[in-house]
Every structure is written in structure tokens, then in C-alpha cells.
Structure 1
Amino acid sequence: MNKFLDAISAKLLSLANVLGSNRYLGVLRDAFMLAFPITMFGSIIVVINNLPFFSDNLKGTLYDLLGNGQLATMSIMTVFVVFGIGYYLSKSYNVEGVFGGAVALSSFLLLTPFHTQTDGGETVSNVLSLDRLGAKGMFLGMITAFIAAELYSRFSNKGWQIKMPETVPPAVAKSFAALIPGTLTLSIFLGINAIVTGVFNVNLHDVIYQVIQKPLVGLGSSLGATLIALFFVQLLWFFGLHGQILVNSVMDPIWNTLNLENLEAYNAGKEVPHIISKAFMETFTVGLGGSGMTLAVIIIMAFVLKKKMYRDVGRLALGAGIFNVNEPVIFGLPIVMNATILIPWLIAPLIVTTLNYSVMALGIVPAPTGVSVPWTVPVFFSGMMATNSIMGGILQLIDVLLVGIIWYPFLLVLDRQVDPEL
């Protein structure tokens, strides 16, 4: 058994090293984290504007007064992600990040139609549609930002810059240094937009959305793909690798896009289109005690198991576990490389996620609205905030109970394996 686990560990460690050292996945992760505090502010505004005990008139008044708090943050999340990708990718090439971010954002806007259609079919010019800056433009924004920052950085590192005397203020010198690389990069994207719109009479937003984003989002919103992602999160953690970071670096663009589409539908008074989303993953997986949903495990260790060593670890981990930080139990039980509890560690999240998906698909519990709830918000409260319903909180409590039932026999085996004096 140990040889088998060692062999798997070596393979997964190699995979983790590849993913962890990948420049583009790291940049993408950092770009989403750049947008996190801004979108969190917008989520708070959405929660305030839509508290279930408010009347429709009061909600309307609050939206008129506070609605820009959401429109200027979550609704244009793609803008922040694009700038973040340009910034961090340029920095990774030792190029001035601010200019890389600005060029990436401008390149994205060059590909964005500055017109929209009203419900009556009338075309309004010289305006930007919010959906192009939000969920619908997310994948084009990411692709454009990576290419633009790559081009800008390569042009800069080739020395295609205007060098200013040392007596010139640094801010002015940096602006002139960015002039030629920025102009070349923006010219390329302006030419692409001219060809696509002039020759093919389409825009890249619609092309990327239909060809790439829509199929990927459809796949990522399925229960099967979600369970596969969760399985690898659990498996990587078992071998001591941060499964959440490694898997999320691949899945976050899809889950965040699903989240934005949910929020846009919710704000428009329509039915939320997706069950799986970033809010679902944060609230109904990590939000149950951290990766692996270990709050129930900590409670059983602290108050049910008989061996002092487990009770001590459980009670020490309880405070952090309430706020979904579970490294103390992952490395203190330990869960890492502990074959006795491999089965519940792998299957509990899969069973609970299937349950949650099913009850939401049946309409028993509403799906998350798209509001971003901090993953450190305790069980019950985060479920209510994410779904705007007390049923979300109740479902989380049921989840914790179910995890406890799955884990209990295996924890008893662990308890009996330990020297009675410990």
C-alpha cells in the first residue's frame, strides 16, 4: 500500500510542479485575486439591496441610490481581470506592469463594440454594453490580455524603446519607453478589429462567446465536471499538495463566468441559470469547514473521540475550522498520507455536492444568486447570503451532518488504533 501511495504521490507531485510553475496559470490566479476586493464590495451592495424582508419599493429605492456599487464593480469584473493579467504578465517579464495592464485593457476595448441595441431593436452608438465588460466578455478579455501583454513585453525586451536622458523624471522616461511597444501592440489589435468587422461583418466578442466561452461554460456547469474537479482537489490534498490552488487555477475562469451570468440574471429579475458557479463552490464545498468539508470531522474529534491526542487536535482546530481554515486538522490529524481516512476524504465532498446540486435542481433550495460571499464566513450564514434564502443555511447544516455520518466509522477506527494512554 505504501509503495502504491508513494508512486501516485510522485506522479501528482510532478503534475503539481508543472501547474504551480506555469507562468500563465499563476498570472491568471493573481489577476482574479486583484479583482477580489472590488467584487466583494459589489457583492455586499447586492446583498443589502436584496434582503428578503425588504419590500419591492424599498429594494427599488436602494437600487437607485446604491446600484452603482454593483454596476461599477461586479458587473465590469472583466475590466479588472484584463488589467490584472496585463500587469502581472508584464511584471513576470521584468517589464513595467502598469503600462502592460493599460495596454492590455486598451487592446480589449479595441475589440469591443461601442454600440448596443435597445429592446426595440434600435442601435445606440458611442456606448459600451455592460455585458461586454462582464460575463459575456470574460474569455475574450483573458485571451486578449495574455496576447497583448505578451506582445508588449517582447517588444519592450527587444529594446524597441525611446531612451530618455537620466535627468528626465522617471515617470516621463517610463512613458516614453512604453510608447513604441504600446503603439505596436495596439496597432495589431486595431488591425484585427478592422479586418474582423470590415471583412466578416462580425465582432470578436460574439465569435469567442459562441465558439469558446459558451461550450466551456456549459461543460464547467455540469455536475460531472464539478465532481471530477473536486476529486482532484481531494486527491492532491491527500498527498500534501494544495489542491484548491492547483485545480482552481484551471477552473476559476469558468466558475467566475458562471457566477457573473447568475448575478446578471438575478439583478434582472430572471431565474438564475446555473447551479454550479464560483459562489456554489465557495459556499457549499469550502464553506463547510475548508477543503474536504472538515468542520464535522473537527467536531467529532473534539467532542466524541476518546483519545486525548485527537480531542486536543480537534479543539485546537475548532476555532479556525468555524471560519473554514482547516490546515490544523489536515496536517494535525493528519489527513495527509493517512490511508485509514482516504475513503471518506475522497467521497464525502462528492456525495454532499451531488446532494446539493440535486436539491437545487429540484427547486427545493435556490441556487446561489452570484453574490460573492467570503469563504471565511461560517456555516449557515454563508449559505443564507449566497442564496438569499434561509434554505441555503439549512442545507449547509444538513451537509455538515452528512459529512459527519460518512466520517464517523473511519474516525472510530483511527481512535481504536491509538495507544490508550495517548
Structure 2
Amino acid sequence: MNKINFNKIVQTMGNIANNRYLTAVRNGMSVIIPVTIIGSIFIIMLNLPIDAWKDFITPYADKLTIPMDFTMNFMSVYVCIGVASSLCEVYKIDKVSTSVLAVLAFLIAAISPATIAEDVAKKAGLSVSGTFLPMGNFGAGGLFTAIIVSIFTVEVVRFCIKKNMVIKMPHGVPTSVVNSFAALIPGALVIVAVWIIKVGLNFDINSALQWVFSPIRYFAGDNVLSVIVPILLITIVWVFGIHGMIIATPILYPFWYDNLNANINAAATGQVVPHFMTEQFFQWFIWIGGAGATLSLAFLMAFFGKSEFSKKMGRFTLVPGIFNINEPLIFGVPIVMNPFFAIPFVLAPVVMGIITYLAMGVFHLVNYPIAIAPWTLPAPIGAMMATGLDWRAAVLAIINIIVAGIIYYPFFKAFDKNMIAKEQEA
């Protein structure tokens, strides 16, 4: 009976992780990784802790923030395209025309044009007046709307195609033209529906979605539960063989990126950076070597393993682990469904999270994250880049690696002893 229930739990988690909408959101969010990294480079340039450099760069600060405005502060537009394109691939429908419709629907749903009169513009010191688009919801503030509207748009297009509610063109017409005309009817339905909700009913879709998801914000805020709960969520499902970030991405990333966006804007304008709770908090101080902080385990296996299996597996997985790739270790040992490593796989990140919370959020020994560094960097280097080249971040990352190694060590020794016995028996 227990085995049946256990299998049902694993199957249920697998179904959740493989849900097409969650997969589309995860893939859509990954689209902004290169965009945000590029924007972060300019933020790091603005915040290099060198007085001579600061004096040199100050006259150009306004110009250097332009790439940030069109990367970090426009991420919802890019996510909208990414989510729509990913879901279109599942349904085998045209990505280009559907993604354009999704962006259009998002703009109507989340952006409210405003007008500045000429006399008001003069008083504010602005050189132009007229209609403008507030940028707030283009960034992380509009992520939930971008995700929901993208899914809605794709589903409407799919429904119209399935019910043959599309304009068909004769044979010989270029495919791009065929797809454009096929998008007319579903596009009209999407735009009219969003317009009726936003304008006709005077219903602020973006604010409503933020209110609906607001209870989750507590677990993405600057508190100790926001550290522990995501770690438990991600690592426990990983133990069952389910990629934890697939579940965490659509739930927590919008809040983490909202916090990071606030940090970047504060750093760019010389204000106090407000949040430590960002995705970079986890990436560089907890997921060192990948989920479960397995770089320490790879090191132990490579240099302290007595069994042939441990030594070979450690040497094979150590280099990928340095660059935060741990699937060979997770599925090669395996850690999944392995009673020897289930406890440290969960416990080590929790302890590392608490240490980082104390160092960063309580005692303020390390700068808060203000940039996104490429996730394949070694942890100490990535930690420095994410915190504006704060050398103390690298020290904290190294301390966490050592702490994880201490936690893994007794479980590793028991596993290694068991492997020695099996090898001798064989």
C-alpha cells in the first residue's frame, strides 16, 4: 500500500513538472537570461568599487543606463514572446504571428498610456509633451500578466485553428502570408477580449494578477522563510527525480526578478539597494555546483573516495560541477531516490541558505545582488559579479562550499563504504 501511494506521489509530481504550461513558462523565462546578463554588465560598470573609475564614469552614467532600460526594464515583453513561442511549439502552430499577438495583448492589458500637457512638461523640466508609456509594467512588474496573456493568446489561436475559424489563402501563397491572414480572426478575438476587460469594464488586469499572487510574495521577500521554503520545495522534489526549478520558476521568478529590478534601479541611481532576496541569492550562495550544492560531494568523491566508483564518478563530475552542471552526478550516482544522499541534498542547501541570510540580510557583511552573472561561472566569481565585485561574496561562497562538504561527509563515507563492499563482493 505504501509503495502504491509512493508511486502515485512520484507520478503526480512528474505530471506537474511536465505540464505544458509550466514548461512553457520555464522556457519563456529562460529567454531573458542573455538579455539580463547583458544589461547587468552595464550595472557592474557603473558600480565598480574603484574611486578613480567612479569619477571617470559619472559623466556617462545616464548613457550607460540606456542598455539597462531596454533589457531589465523590458523583460516582460521578452518573456511574453518566449512563453508564447514555447507553447506554440507544443501545439505546432506559427510562433511568429502568435507571439506578435501575445505582445499586443500584453501591451493593452498591462500598459496604460498617459498624457503630459505642455505646461506640466515645462514645469517638470521635460523637453517634450504628449502621450507617453509608463515603464513600470514593462519590467518585472508585468511578468504575471505577460505569462497569463501569452497562454491565453496561444489557446485562442489554437482553438480557432481547431474549429477552422481562420482565413485560408489559396495554394502558392507564401507561408508567412498564410500565417498572417490565419492570425486575423483569433487576433481580433484576443484583442477585443482584452480591450473589453481593460477598457470596457475598467478592470486593471495587471493589478488584479499581482493581488491574486500577492500571498506568494511573502515567500519571496527579505525574510528567513523566503530562504528556507524555496530550498525545501526545490530539493525535495529533486530527490524524487523531478527538476525542482520547473515548479519554482513560474511561482517565484516574477517576485525574484522584481526584487532584482528594484536593486538594479537603486544601484544605477546611487540609492540604497533594498533586497537581498533574488534568484542570484540562490544561484551563487546555495546552488553551488547545481541543485543540492553537489560541488562539495563531487570534490569528496574525487579526492576522498576509496571505492573505484566514487573516485571515477567524482573525477568525471567535478569539472562540470565547478560550472554548476550536476545532472551527471544527480543521475549518475544517483542522488535521485538514494537514501544515502537524500538528507544532505536537502540539509546542506538549507544550512547554506541560513548562513547566507545571516551574512547578507542580518549582519550586512556582503553586498546585495545587483546584477545577473552567467550561471556557468564558478561560484566565487559569479558571486562577486552578482554583488558588484564584492570580494566578501566570494569568501562567503567558499565558506558555503566547505559547510556543504562537512554536511555531506558522513553520508558520503557511508555510501563509499557500501560501494567498497559491493565491489569486493563482485
TM-score by length of 1: 0.88
- Pick one of 107, 130, 139 that aligns with 1:134: 139
Aligned equivalents of 1:8, 1:57: Cα separation in 2: 64
Matched to 1:273, the amino acid is: P
389-398 vs 33-42, which moves further: 33-42
Q: Kindly state the Cα deviation for residue 207 of structure 1 after the two structures are TM-superposed.
A: 4.3
2:191 counterpart of 1:186: yes
Query: Any idea what the Cα deviations from partners look like across 1:11-65, whole Å, max 9, x if unmatched?
Result: 4421232213312111111111222222222222322332222533333344344
Does residue 95 (structure 1) correspond to residue 105 (structure 2)? The answer is: no
Aligned ranges 1:167-316 → 2 under 5 Å:
167-197=172-202, 203-209=204-210, 211-221=211-221, 222-286=223-287, 288-316=288-316
Counterpart for residue 336 of structure 1: 336
Question: Where in structure 1 are there 5+ consecutive unaligned residues?
Answer: none
Mean Cα deviation higher: 137-146 or 26-35: 137-146
User: Residues 156, 257 of structure 1: CA spacing in aligned structure 2 closer, same or farther, 3 A cutoff?
Assistant: farther
Gaps of 5+ in 2: none
Contact 1:283–1:373 (CA under 8 A) maintained in structure 2: no
Question: 2: CA distance between counterparts of 1:248 and 1:404?
Answer: 27
Residue number among 10, 14, 20 corresponding to 2:17 in the alignment: 20
Identical-residue share of aligned pairs (%): 30
Number of the residue aligned with 1:59: 57
Query: Cα RMSD between the aligned structures?
Result: 2.8
Distance 1:63 1:229 in 2: 36
- What residue in structure 2 maps to residue 393 of structure 1? 394
Aligned residues of 2:383 and 2:394 also touching (Cα < 8 A): yes
**Residue identity in the other structure for 2:216:** L
Partner secondary structure for residue 420 of structure 2: coil
For 1:183 and 1:110, how far apart are their aligned partners in 2? 13
Q: Which amino acid aligns with 2:180?
A: S
2:42 is aligned with 1:45? yes
Which residue type is aligned with residue 220 of structure 2?
G
The alignment partner of 1:126 has SS state of: strand
Q: Which residue of 2 aligns with 1:365?
A: 366
Please tell me the residue identity of whatever aligns with 2:22.
L
Deviation at residue 231 of structure 1 after TM alignment: 1.9
- The aligned residue for residue 114 of structure 2 is 115
SS of residue paired to 1:273: coil
Change (3 A) 1:314 1:167: closer
Task: Summarize the Cα distance change of 1:296–1:220 in structure 2 as closer, same or farther, 3 Å threshold.
Answer: same
- Is the aligned partner of 1:86 residue 2:84? yes
SS of the residue corresponding to residue 291 of structure 2 reads coil
SS in 2 for 1:377: coil
Aligned with 1:143 (options 143, 148, 151): 148
Residue 39 of structure 2 aligns with an amino acid whose one-letter code is: G
Q: Distance in 2 between matches of 1:285 and 1:31?
A: 24
| Aligned partners of 1:26 and 1:249 also within 8 Å | no
After TM superposition, what 4+ stretches of structure 1 lie above 6 angstroms from structure 2?
116-124
Using a 3 Å threshold, how does the CA distance of structure 1 residues 67 and 243 change in structure 2: closer, same or farther?
same
Letter in 2 for 1:343: I
Whichever residue aligns with residue 31 of structure 2, its letter is L
Aligned residues: 412
Conserved 8 A contact 1:95-1:157:
no
Structure 2 partner of 1:33: 30
**What aligned pairs does 1:338-353 form with structure 2 within 5 A after superposition?**
338-353=338-353
Whole-angstrom CA distance in 1 between matches of 2:317 and 2:174: 53
Cα deviation, residue 399, structure 1:
0.3
> Mean alpha-carbon deviation: is it higher for 126-135 or for 326-335?
326-335
Kindly state the Cα deviation for residue 392 of structure 1 after the two structures are TM-superposed. 1.0
Distance across 2 between alignment mates of 1:391 and 1:235: 30
2:286–2:353 Cα contact (<8 Å) kept: yes
Q: Any idea what the Cα deviations from partners look like across 1:341-373, whole Å, max 9, x if unmatched?
A: 33222211111101111221121212212x222
AA aligned opposite 2:383 = G
How far residue 164 of structure 1 moved from its aligned partner, in angstroms, is 1.8
Deviation string, structure 1 residues 58-95 (Cα, Å, up to 9, x no partner): 33344344332221111100011112223333443333
- Taking structure 1 as reference, are residues 333 and 192 closer, same or farther at Cα in structure 2, changes over 3 Å only? closer
Residue in structure 2 matched with residue 376 of structure 1 by the alignment: 376
Letter in 2 for 1:115: A
My pick for the range that moved more, 106-115 or 40-49, is 40-49
TM-score by length of 2: 0.87
| Alpha-carbon offset, residue 203 of structure 1 | 4.0
Q: Distance in 1 between matches of 2:418 and 2:85?
A: 53
For the 8 Å contact 2:219–2:229, the answer to whether it is kept is no
Paired with 1:218 and 1:274, the residues of 2 have a C-alpha distance of 13
Three-state SS of the structure 1 residue aligned to 2:373 is coil
Using the TM superposition, name which of 327-336 and 186-195 deviates more.
327-336
Tell me which moved more, 352-361 or 236-245: 236-245
Q: 1:9 to 1:393 in 2, by over 3 A?
A: farther
AA at the equivalent of 1:76? F
Q: Aligned letter for 1:38?
A: V
State the shift of 1:246 in Å.
Answer: 3.7
Greater Cα shift, 388-397 or 78-87: 78-87
* Counterpart residue type for residue 291 of structure 1: A
1:69 maps to 67
Matches of 1:419 and 1:94 in 2, distance apart? 51
